[in-house]
Amino acid sequence: MLENTDTSTCCTCGYEWKTGRNGSHSCTDTLLKRFASSTALSDVIDERHRQINKKGYTPQHDNDHDAGELAGAGSAYALNASCQLYPYYNLPLDEKPDSFTWDDSHWKPKSPREDLVRAAALLIAEIERIDRKGK
């Protein structure tokens, strides 16, 4: 009987395994190396740092927003970016979305990229808050 020489390749990290065998593996190391040079990821980290150190939105502050407000705000900024990027609409929202439950003075949309960076940082804050709550 001939040995199977066909291989499959992980589309994320390039890991190869023989077809028919278990190809489960962790792409974490490869992804960390790839993202280490990512301007987008660096900008999200910088935005989260700004939220904590310049705006005072510390983990303790975020813990008080336990009704999904951080996720809601993140989704609002992502939606605003989407509306601007959508080729048939190409305009920002006329007003803050309902998911943005904070005061109107906190709604400060910018360019689509800046809104997406802010959205990602807010979503990270929400995930971290959930993780802290679980401990």
Is the pLDDT at 25 greater than 70? The verdict is no
Is the pLDDT at 1 greater than 50? The verdict is no
Angle at 134 between CA 33 and CA 70, to 5 degrees: 70
DSSP 4: P
Question: How does pLDDT run across 27-60, given as a tens digit for each residue?
Answer: 777 777 777 778 999 999 999 999 999 999 999 9
DSSP 106: G
Element (H, E) at 131: helix 112-134
Give the span between the Cα atoms of 100 and 38, in whole angstroms.
28
Residue with tokens 């992502």: 78
Question: How does pLDDT run across 75-95, given as a tens digit for each residue?
Answer: 999 999 999 998 777 778 888
pLDDT at 87: 79
Question: How does pLDDT run across 55-75, given as a tens digit for each residue?
Answer: 999 999 999 999 999 999 999
pLDDT at 22: 60
Is the pLDDT at 6 greater than 90? The verdict is no
pLDDT at 88: 78
pLDDT at 32: 73
> What six digits make up the tokens of 134?
């679980």
C-alpha neighbours within 13 Å on the C-beta side of residue 100: 21
**Looking at per-residue confidence, does 32 or 119 come out higher?**
119
Q: Which of 54, 59, 80 is nearest to 124 (CA)?
A: 59
Q: Which amino acid is at 7?
A: T
Question: Biggest alpha carbon distance in the chain?
Answer: 72
